Homo-oligomer: A and B are copies of this chain.
């Protein structure tokens, strides 16, 4: 058996502790599967005295993670600190420039600096691996980089954020509104005190940008992702979706179009019988559509100590086995720099919900605007009258049209005197 692979772990939060526990529990198993032992020999975290339920007596403690990243007796640095910039990035850069392999679960850092860091890793002749950065335990990076490597990818989409999916699932199950369900999710520990990254779509967009780079062998382009979250989804829209045969899911979608790769994260209407529609709660799922393989769905736990540690250690085992593959499937130097397609060029169907004065002529005004923009109505639902003077919902679904035309139409509709609230728009995805 060849020599021990020595690991330094930076960051001992939930995932860091889970990773140490996994490596300790499966020491024999991992050694057998790698043909060599894998050992955590150093760690670095903020507070040495904190009780983490781990025996760290045999492990070197570094106050300064950057010093650990330079230590000659460490082969691999696992970065589990988080944050796009700051200490995480400094440590990763230090480790790479010291010729150490790097494993990270840091989606923000890879989404913002992935191309540059991959270049550094390749210059240093080491691996930069980030399976744990996307969808926790689902080995979607390996699947795209290797398992589907014989395919041109037509599209990839998924439920990339478990918190948002839990909230949408709960809203549908209970009929309650967003704010109430978010508060409950926070109590249960499924949502952070500051939930913005999750519910505003940013976390999903980080993951999508990484998946896009892998699927299309292009530079990571986080700024090219169109991002909308779920704050504006109401129980009324969920009920209408149900009536129309849809469920509302926050999806990340990357698709090759004539105008480039389209990257977008937003609430979607998906048919109830689509497999992705039935992924509930905190689960994540990704569907990759390849030109030979067809449609491949993978569903699993997208976060948490165990699943994320599983992904970290999968990268570690690859490194211990001598597998060296570029971060984004092809060398960073040959990654395409193709501009993401602007959202205005998006082509698709739409669900619109308008709250209108209940009087004659309202629908004529609205449909005239749609006609002017050449938008064809697929269905319209108008409810019986409510109490006098109260706004009534009008729901319209459209055939496929351009986002630009829809935006113009909605501006004009919103300006009508008979339309009382901001129109709500949810895109319909034919998955």
A313 at the B interface (CB under 8 A): yes
- Complex contact B297–A26 (CB within 8 A): no
Binary flags per residue of A303-331, CB closer than 8 Å to B gives 1, else 0? 00011011111101110011111000111
A219 at the B interface (CB under 8 A): no
Rounded to whole Å, the gap between the CB of A399 and the closest CB of chain B is: 28
**How many copies are assembled?**
2
A300 at the B interface (CB under 8 A): yes
- Complex contact B294–A306 (CB within 8 A): yes
Rounded to whole Å, the gap between the CB of A109 and the closest CB of chain B is: 22
* A316 proximity list for chain B (CB < 8 A): 150
A32 at the B interface (CB under 8 A): yes
- Complex contact A137–B314 (CB within 8 A): no
* A292 proximity list for chain B (CB < 8 A): 18, 22, 137, 306-307, 309-310, 313
* A16 proximity list for chain B (CB < 8 A): none
- Complex contact B33–A329 (CB within 8 A): yes
Rounded to whole Å, the gap between the CB of A218 and the closest CB of chain B is: 12
Rounded to whole Å, the gap between the CB of A279 and the closest CB of chain B is: 8
The residue in A149, A295, A307 that gathers the most chain B C-beta atoms within 10 A of its C-beta is A149
Q: A143-B143, A292-B18 are in contact. Are A331 and B148 (CB under 8 A)?
A: no
- Complex contact A294–B299 (CB within 8 A): no
Binary flags per residue of A12-52, CB closer than 8 Å to B gives 1, else 0? 00000010001000100110110100000000000000000
Which of A128-178 touch B at CB < 8 Å? 131, 137-139, 142-143, 146-152
- Complex contact A142–B150 (CB within 8 A): no
A339 at the B interface (CB under 8 A): no
Chain B residue nearest to A147 in the complex (CB) = B139
Chain B residue nearest to A313 in the complex (CB) = B150
A217 at the B interface (CB under 8 A): yes
- Complex contact B290–A295 (CB within 8 A): no
Q: A278-B275, A297-B299, A300-B295 are in contact. Are A142 and B149 (CB under 8 A)?
A: no
* Bound CA span A300–B294, Å: 7
Main secondary structure of the interface of A (DSSP, over half): mixed
* Bound CA span A301–B292, Å: 10
A193 at the B interface (CB under 8 A): no
Chain B residue nearest to A325 in the complex (CB) = B321
Q: A152-B26, A290-B310 are in contact. Are A300 and B297 (CB under 8 A)?
A: yes
Rounded to whole Å, the gap between the CB of A57 and the closest CB of chain B is: 24
Binary flags per residue of A402-427, CB closer than 8 Å to B gives 1, else 0? 00000000000000000000000000
- Complex contact B293–A150 (CB within 8 A): no
A56 at the B interface (CB under 8 A): no
* A379 proximity list for chain B (CB < 8 A): none
* A4 proximity list for chain B (CB < 8 A): none
A296 at the B interface (CB under 8 A): yes
Rounded to whole Å, the gap between the CB of A339 and the closest CB of chain B is: 20
Which of A314-366 touch B at CB < 8 Å? 314, 316-318, 321-325, 329-331, 334
A298 at the B interface (CB under 8 A): yes
Chain B residue nearest to A297 in the complex (CB) = B299
* Bound CA span A298–B286, Å: 10
- Complex contact B296–A33 (CB within 8 A): no
- Complex contact A310–B150 (CB within 8 A): yes
* A18 proximity list for chain B (CB < 8 A): 292
- Complex contact B146–A217 (CB within 8 A): no
Pairs A–B under 8 Å by Cβ, sample size 18: A26-B151, A30-B149, A32-B217, A33-B149, A137-B292, A137-B296, A139-B148, A149-B314, A149-B317, A150-B313, A150-B314, A275-B299, A278-B278, A294-B300, A295-B300, A296-B298, A297-B297, A298-B298
